[in-house]
């Protein structure tokens, strides 16, 4: 079967403004070609500069038809040098237009005009180098749960620094019209105000780090439960799911902020509070978990429930997939810039894999990229034949 020719002009064009960090002396390989080959190789299963170069060597004839390669395919040292010199923030910025295009297509396909963007951190556990005082890479990212898109990433020293990283991350992404969900560590007044100022809404988890507010919300909701929510515009939704021998019931309650809480609060656009109760039964044993939230959304329990469920998409659809399909937790890449650039490539390429209409699993699609050049080009360009 003849190779289907799908032009890479548009993909190459996303990197036209990316500055080549290499010395101008003795350059044999066009910078953009090196970057695009790296993307294609990782999509096909490569896990570092060495395996990128190995893949490129096997695919030289194929790559020569698609890219400018006057001196053949680069060696591993070229890929290592480029990925180590390339500034992660500049590299990620090149994907802005690409992501906007993918987001618009996903919005049209899903018909969701107010998407849930989940913000959470993840540690690449084996990326540390204790001998040289380098801790494991910890990054905070935004995952558009219903779209299957990673919208941005910022690396930070450790989980305790997520509060500093989240505002920087939010500035990188157009969040207007989106619902931003964040775990309790990111439940900060400044972060809530930034979300609103950028045109988004928030659903933020309450825990002990917001002591007084947390206690007041719990007390208020508990009192309403005792009175069966009499006189309050509360909305309720119950969902039950049975799978793999476990029955799970989720009960959501969403209600307006009482005057006392609103009057004593400086949270921007603080409009509603909510609670999600999850009861799981397995092997005759039941566990119950309650989570409380504050939000800028008006009362609407279906939208509130969608936001709460959507937040877990970053764990189930993004983080889990990165570990299972890209083996991120097993990565031994330790050079700071390379590991951060690889982390972003993995998230972006996972997004591309999720956009392809194939009914195969994500890991099956990635394997197919390694086996079938046509399929790889379909995933990379968003085209199907």
- Higher confidence at residue 301 or residue 333? 301
Q: What is the pLDDT of residue 135?
A: 61
Has residue 345 been placed in a domain? no
What is the per-residue pLDDT across 183-208, written as a single tens digit (0 to 9) for each? Answer: 998 999 999 999 999 999 999 999 87
Residues 11 and 108 both lie in one domain: no
User: What is the number of other CB atoms lying within 10 angstroms of the CB of residue 39?
Assistant: 19
Q: Is residue 199 part of a domain?
A: yes
The answer on pLDDT for 305 being more than 90 is yes
| One domain for residues 180 and 301 | yes
130 band by pLDDT with thresholds 50, 70 and 90 = low
Burial category of 134 from C-beta neighbours within 10 Å (exposed 0-12, middle 13-18, buried 19 and up) = middle
* Domain membership flag for residue 368: no
Rg over alpha carbons for the chain, rounded to the nearest Å, is 23
Higher-pLDDT residue of 43 and 16 is 43
Domain boundary (319, 337, 368) is at 319
Residue 243 falls inside a structural domain: yes
**Residue 60 burial by Cβ neighbours in a 10 Å radius (0-12, 13-18, 19+):** exposed
Residue 80 sits in the same domain as residue 108: no
Do 185 and 265 lie in a common domain? Answer: yes
| Least confident stretch, 54-68, 108-122, 208-222, 300-314 | 208-222
Q: Best-predicted range by mean pLDDT among 56-60, 95-99, 221-225? A: 56-60
**pLDDT for res 126:** 58
Q: Looking at the 3D structure of the chain, how many domains does it have?
A: 2
What's the burial of 150, exposed, middle or buried (CB within 10 Å: 0-12/13-18/19+)? buried
- Please tell me the distance from the alpha carbon of residue 292 to that of residue 185, in angstroms, as a whole number: 14
Q: What local confidence, expressed as pLDDT, does residue 158 receive?
A: 61
d(CA 91, CA 260): 47
Q: What is the pLDDT of residue 162?
A: 85
Residues 73 and 125 in one domain: no
Look at residue 370 and tell me if it is in a domain: no
Q: Within a domain: residue 350?
A: no
Contact residues for 253 (Cβ-Cβ < 8 A; gap 6+): 221, 229, 234, 235, 236, 274, 275, 301
Question: Could you give the residue ranges of the DSSP H alpha helices within the chain?
Answer: 9-13, 31-43, 49-58, 60-64, 76-85, 88-93, 96-110, 162-172, 189-197, 211-226, 259-263, 301-311, 313, 320-325, 336-355, 362-371, 373-381
pLDDT at position 146 is: 95
Shared-domain flag, residues 122 and 225: yes
Instruction: Give per-residue pLDDT as tens, 255-271.
Output: 999 988 877 678 999 99
Within-domain flag for 31: yes
Q: Which carries the bigger pLDDT value, residue 27 or residue 299?
A: 299
DSSP string computed for 37-72: HHHHHHHTT--SHHHHHHHHHHTHHHHHTTS--BTB
Whether residues 71 and 103 fall in one domain: no
Domain that holds residue 228: 96-319
- Residue 138 pLDDT > 60: yes
Query: Which CATH number do you get for residue 160?
Result: 3.90.350
Q: What is the 3-state secondary structure (H, E, C) of 145-178?
A: CCCCEEEEEEEECCHHHHHHHHHHHHHHCCCCCC
- What values do phi and psi take at 300, rounded to 5? -175, 95
Residues 178, 249, single domain; the answer is yes
Last residue of a domain, one of 30, 54, 86: 86
Name the DSSP letter for residue 188. -
In the structure, what pLDDT confidence band is assigned to residue 364 with cuts at 50, 70 and 90? very high
- How sure is the predictor about 74, in pLDDT bands with cuts at 50, 70 and 90? very high
- The answer to whether residues 276 and 222 belong to one domain is yes
β partners of residue 294: 204, 273
Q: What does the pLDDT read at residue 159?
A: 60
Q: Which of 259, 286, 319 is the last residue of a domain?
A: 319
The predicted pLDDT at position 266 comes to 87
| Same domain as 303, residue 176 | yes
Report the alpha-carbon distance of residue 328 to residue 4 in Å, rounded. Answer: 31
At 70, is the pLDDT very low, low, confident or very high (cuts 50, 70, 90)? very high
Are 61 and 141 found together in one domain? no
- Is residue 192 situated within a structural domain? yes
pLDDT above 60: residue 53: yes
If asked whether residues 175 and 243 sit together in one domain, one would say: yes
């Amino acid at each position: 079967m003849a190779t289907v020719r799908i032009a890479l002009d548009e993909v190459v064009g996303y990197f036209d403004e990316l500055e080549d960090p290499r010395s101008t002396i003795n350059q044999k390989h066009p910078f953009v070609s090196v970057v695009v080959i790296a993307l294609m190789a990782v999509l096909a299963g490569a896990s570092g500069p060495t395996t990128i170069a190995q893949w490129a060597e096997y695919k030289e004839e194929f790559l020569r038809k698609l890219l400018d390669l006057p001196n053949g395919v680069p060696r591993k040292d070229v890929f290592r040098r480029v990925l180590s010199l390339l500034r992660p923030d500049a590299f990620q910025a090149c994907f802005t237009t690409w992501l906007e295009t993918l987001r618009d297509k996903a919005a049209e396909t899903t018909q969701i005009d107010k998407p849930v963007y989940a913000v959470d951190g993840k540690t690449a556990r084996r990326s540390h180098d204790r001998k040289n005082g380098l801790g494991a890479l910890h990054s905070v990212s935004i995952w558009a749960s219903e779209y299957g898109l990673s919208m941005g990433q910022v690396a930070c020293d450790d989980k305790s620094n997520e509060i500093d990283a989240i505002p920087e991350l939010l500035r990188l992404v157009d969040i207007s019209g989106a619902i931003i969900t964040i775990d309790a560590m990111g439940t900060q007044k400044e972060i809530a105000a930034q979300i609103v100022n950028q045109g988004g809404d928030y659903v933020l988890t309450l825990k002990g780090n917001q002591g007084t507010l947390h206690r007041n919300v719990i007390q208020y909701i508990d009192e309403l439960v005792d009175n069966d929510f009499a006189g309050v515009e509360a909305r309720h939704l119950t969902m039950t799911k049975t799978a793999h021998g476990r029955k799970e019931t989720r009960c959501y309650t969403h209600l307006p902020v009482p005057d006392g809480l609103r009057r004593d609060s400086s949270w921007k656009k603080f409009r509603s509070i909510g609670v999600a109760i999850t009861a799981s039964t397995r092997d005759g044993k039941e566990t119950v978990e309650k989570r409380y939230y504050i939000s800028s959304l008006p009362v609407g329990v279906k939208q509130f429930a969608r936001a709460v469920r959507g937040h877990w998409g970053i764990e189930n659809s993004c983080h889990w997939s990165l570990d299972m399909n890209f083996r991120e937790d097993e990565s031994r890449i330790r050079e700071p810039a390379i590991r951060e650039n690889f982390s972003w490539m993995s998230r972006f390429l996972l997004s591309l894999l999720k956009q392809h209409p194939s009914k195969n699993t994500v890991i099956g699609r990635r394997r197919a990229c390694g086996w079938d050049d046509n399929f790889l080009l379909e995933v990379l360009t968003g085209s199907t034949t």
